[in-house]
Structure 1
Amino acid sequence: MAEERASFGSKLGMILATAGGAVGLGNVWRFPYMTGQNGGAAFILIYIGCVLLLGIPCMISEFIIGRHGASNTFRAYSKMSGGKAWKYVGLLGVLTGFLITGYYAVVSGWCLQYIYASVMGELHGDPTAVKTYFDTFATSPVRPIFWTVVILWVTHFVIIHGIRGGIEKASKLLMPTLFVLLLVIVVAACLLPGAEKGISFLLKPDFSKVTHQTFLNALGQSFYSLSIAMGCICTYASYYTRQTNLANSAIQVALVDTFVAILAGLVIFPAAFSVGVNPGSGPSLVFITLPNVFNEAFSGMPVIGWIVSLMFYSLLSLAALTSLISLHEVSTSFFSEELHLSRKTGATIVTVATTIIGAFCSLSLGAVNWLYVGDKTLFDVFDFVTGQIFLPVGGFLTCIFLGWFIPKTVVKDEFTNWGTLRGRFFGVFLFLVRFVCPLAILGIFLHQFNVI
């Protein structure tokens, strides 16, 4: 029998917390520019298909492991494997979440700086001035680290107050605020002159631009967007009750996550098309391209432009914070349970350690010239190792573990809540986890190294 453990106090709080862990910069930043580079609405349709065939089954798999194990991710895998080597898949999830927390906090800190810059009116000027502003800030030895520390300690404050008093309470505040901000900015963007071209680009499929690369990009985006294999989903599921419908919860989280991503597209594409900016301009879209878009789009209404800019970067910061909370909890639960420490002590270890990681990752972006591994900055190394190696490997092994190693009766019991749910799609779920998901993840992994 699982040991007594803290749990979410309500279904709404559980869904908002788990969705908050999935909703992050990947939705508001990465999804729009990936859509822009891959043909607009055609990419979105393929992405939704990938969420259904890959994302939701992988999420349910982690839900099952987390709830059944009723402990941190490492111990959950250890319990379900009987202490066999599969437990190291759980340890990989903890390590992945820990490392991502460090460098993700750097970019999250940039969002806070841009809130400040919006308030102070520092993002005005020509495109060259905006790019110079970002380059000067990102390579500063002090300011990016300051904001990294701020957002990590805000996260720390939430974490030390526990599941119901910290994570659930914060999620009930942050997620509705995020939605309100997003909807207001969508309306402002869609009212711009020429915005209909951006809306059409987002909603009208152009399958002539679809290639095999489009499918691989959609697969990768669906996998990363839902925070699979970072330990977040498994850790949060350990706080689920035995009455939680895991399949329905996964669908609800995926719907929220996808809805936020599409709404973000309805902010960026209408604004970008309104001023003739390429919507697929890549990772620089948020911090260099968009300030210019806001400046030009609202040139006749500078106060509205100031408000939209402030709201957009507030939105980004909230999305980053909800993800950081879930990532932090992965490591906090691990340290507190495995080392038998209080939650506060475990959280402090994680916060201090990830602050140090974040500081070095930030410095590697230009403040110093020795934090390189080969031709990659330390920041890029963390991003590459976690995103392109640890995540797909962890996801692949989780599917193999649940699909082939765990007894089918155990998986079915969790899926159907011990027979209280009908479980009509259990056979489909098991087929996807055993065959489709591992092959798809393996395809993504090999393609990025040009093997296929």
Structure 2
Amino acid sequence: MNKEREHWGSRWGFILAAMGSAVGLGNIWRFSYAMGEGGGSTFLIIYLLSVILIGFPVMMIEFAIGRRAQTDAIDAFKKLAPKSFWVIAGGMGVLAAFIILSFYGVIGGWSLKYIFSYLTGGVSGNTETYFTEFVGSTFEPIGWQFLFMGITVAIVMLGVQKGIETSSKWMMPILSILLIVLAGYSLTLGGAGEALTFMFHPDWSAFTDPSVYFAAVGQAFFTLSLGMGIMLTYGSYLSPNEKLTSSAAYIIILDTLFAIIAGLVVFPALFAFDLDPTQGAGLVFIVLPTIFEGISGIGLVVGVAFFILLALAALSSGISLLEVVVAYLIRRLGVSRKLATLGIGFIIFLVGVPSSLSQGAVSIEVFGDPFLDFMDKFSGSLLLPLGGLIVAIYGTWSWKSDELLEHTDLKGVAWAPAFLFFAKFVAPIAILIILVFGMLSW
């Protein structure tokens, strides 16, 4: 039975939803962590160039495929390139979204736990001990993971307009306000000068370090939710006459601003308290709570505001990941949105339980890594870049140049030849390097 496909209620609803997907945990803590290890402003310069020269072309191709096919990530390639191997890209996107959400829900649950902790008195004692005892327990992290997944399922179950679009319209403004307020406050703590120098004064010697390029290109690629079927799926809910260029530009600009402002939240506070910015996940759950404890009077308020920010960022990405899988199941099985969302949401929750337990409760390792770390590496180092590479090659080599420009609304545009060059050569080569480097490091 063919059902009429849902569409976005407005252009800005689509932009906010796609932006919500791009703005996630990676913007709030991973960007700052990667920037801390990558030489500060050196990393930022390479990241910005990567977003423009690589991220923009790949995003345009994903949007174009989705808008033209008007179906889910897997069926899009079956429809546009029947009986070909290109469908692998769609399958990898759906699988990646499934896997990422399974452990993303665990970390999202942690953020809800910390909101509750700050609302009921804050993180007491040693922050590292508090974190390790919490994630190392058996049942409590799973309970918070279940709550996070329940909220995600409830939003996606409401549909594209009533659920995803409506939630994005209120979540993104709240996210923006919280981020700007926290950045403004962080700049008053005494580390603003060092932070601004670190973020915006280039260390030219760092440009000779190849790892900075890998980190910056990888961050640009992954923060934009490319290669996981999200932008393709969201593009499929666009009407055929919707323009893509300005929408993609808005999403990339706003996502980048979020990342930079998040850096203005983290780095001034770290320098003010003389702490190390290269702490990974600990930056959020161990180092920043230490800072909040040191803020007299309003530490609890700042703490709860930050973790609300983190939870909303996780949720905005979580609903986009779930929608990729739900869209496929609705079409493939012919079931209702409610049944597809409830069923696959619960399965993803169950798959995420080993990730939660592997953080200390039970020793669950794959190739020497805790289960959560393995799932992260498998999706990030293999599925995403490989899926993104196939999408980029399909759009630039399966379609003729005139077709690509027509499908991306760039036919007759002055800078179309430059777009073709970067989409056809620079982006695939850069993604291939990220793929090889990721697999070697794994």
TM-score bucket (shorter structure):
over 0.9
| 2: CA distance, partners of 1:415 / 1:38 | 33
TM-score (normalizing by structure 1): 0.94
Q: Render the CA deviation track for 1:206-246: whole Å, top value 9, x for unaligned.
A: 22233221111100110111010111111000001223221
Q: Which residue of 1 aligns with 2:357?
A: 363
Contact 1:399 1:433 in 2 (8 A): yes
* 1:340 positional shift: 0.5
Structure 2 equivalent of residue 218 of structure 1: 216
* Aligned twin of 1:372: 365
Matched residue of 2:335: which SS? Answer: coil
Q: How much has 1:3 moved relative to structure 2? A: 8.5
Within 2, Cα distance between the matches of 1:96 and 1:381?
13
Contact 1:415 1:423 in 2 (8 A): no
- Distance (Å, rounded) in 2 between the aligned partners of 1:414 and 1:449: 33
Give the 3-state SS of the residue equivalent to 1:287 in structure 2: helix
> What displacement does 1:101 show?
0.9
Distance, in Å, in 2 between the alignment partners of 1:140 and 1:173 is: 34
- Secondary structure, aligned partner of 1:228: coil
CA distances 1:400-438 after superposition (whole Å, capped 9, x unpaired): 111111243432222128x6xx43333222221211111
Q: TM-score w.r.t. structure 2 length?
A: 0.96
Q: Structure 1 unaligned segments of length 5 or more: list them.
A: none
Aligned equivalent of 2:167? 170
* Structure 2 counterpart of 1:272: 270
Question: Could you say which residue in structure 2 is the equivalent of 1:292?
Answer: 290
Q: Which amino acid aligns with 1:426?
A: A
Alpha-carbon distance in 2 for matches of 1:3, 1:141: 43
* Number of the residue aligned with 2:30: 30
The answer to whether the 8 A contact 1:115-1:313 is kept is yes
Q: Which residue of 107, 130, 139 corresponds with 2:136?
A: 139
> What is the CA-CA distance between 1:323 and the residue it aligns to?
0.1
Residue in 2 aligned with 1:185? 182
Corresponding residue to 1:154 among 151, 154, 174: 151
Change (3 A) 1:255 1:63: same
Question: Percent of pairs identical after alignment?
Answer: 37
Equivalent-residue separation in structure 2 for 1:134 and 1:344 (angstroms): 35
Q: Could you tell me which residue of structure 1 aligns to residue 73 of structure 2? A: 73
Matches of 1:75 and 1:59 in 2, distance apart? 19
Q: Deviations over 1:306-362 (max 9, x none)?
A: 111110000000000000010000000000111101111111121111110111211
Q: Does residue 322 of the first structure (1) align with residue 313 of the second (2)? A: no
Tell me what 1:241 maps to: 239
2:250 maps to 252
Does structure 1 conserve the Cα–Cα contact (< 8 Å) formed by 2:382 and 2:439?
A: no
The amino acid across from 2:55 in the alignment is G
Q: For residue 309 of structure 1, what is the aligned residue in structure 2?
A: 303
User: What secondary structure, in the 3-state scheme, does the structure 1 residue paired with 2:123 have?
Assistant: coil
Q: What's the CA shift string for 1:43-70, capped at 9, x where partnerless?
A: 1111000001111111111101111110
Moved more, 72-81 or 424-433: 424-433
The question of 1:408 aligning with 2:428 is answered: no
Return the alpha-carbon distance in structure 2 between the equivalents of residues 346 and 186 of structure 1: 40
Structure 2 unaligned segments of length 5 or more: list them. none
1:436 aligns with 426
Partner Cα distance (1:355, 1:3) in 2 = 28
Among 181, 190, 194, which residue is 2:191 paired with? 194
**What do residues 121-180 of structure 1 show as CA deviations (whole Å, max 9, x unaligned)?**
24143xxx1101100011111111111111111111111111111110000010000001
Q: Which amino acid aligns with 2:229?
A: G
Q: Which amino acid aligns with 1:204?
A: H
Which amino acid is 2:311 matched to?
S
Deviation at 1:78, TM superposition (A): 1.3
Q: Name whichever of 24-33 and 74-83 sits farther off.
A: 74-83
Partners of 2:191 and 2:146 in 1: CA distance: 41
User: In 1, distance between residues paired with 2:118 and 2:414?
Assistant: 51
User: What are the equivalent positions in structure 2 for 1:80-95 lying under 5 Å apart?
Assistant: 80-95=80-95
Q: Which residue of 1 aligns with 2:417?
A: 427
Question: Is 1:345–2:339 an aligned residue pair?
Answer: yes
Which of 372-381 and 43-52 deviates more? 372-381
**Cα offset, 1:194, TM superposition:** 3.3
Whether the 8 Å CA contact 2:29–2:280 is kept in 1: the answer is no
User: Which residue is 1:385 aligned to?
Assistant: 378
Give the Cα–Cα distance (whole angstroms) in 2 for the partners of residues 193 and 377 of structure 1. Answer: 38
Shift of 1:4: 4.6
Q: CA deviation at 1:450?
A: 4.2
**Match for 2:368: what amino acid?**
D
| Contact persistence 1:277–1:293 (CA under 8 A) | no
The one-letter amino acid of 1:188's match is Y
> Do the aligned partners of 1:58 and 1:228 also contact (CA within 8 Å) in 2?
yes
Match of 2:260 among 250, 259, 262: 262
Deviations 1:79-136 (A, max 9, x none): 11123221121111111111111111101111111111111224143xxx11011000
Q: Could you say what secondary structure the match of 1:286 adopts?
A: helix
Give the AA of the match of 2:288: L
Amino acid across the alignment from 1:245: K
Aligned length: 439
CA apart distance, 1:399: 1.0
User: What's the Cα RMSD here?
Assistant: 1.6
Q: Matched residues in 2 for 1:100 and 1:340: separation?
A: 25
Q: Which residue identity does 1:400 align to in structure 2?
A: I
Cα distance in 2 between the residues matched to 1:96 and 1:260: 24
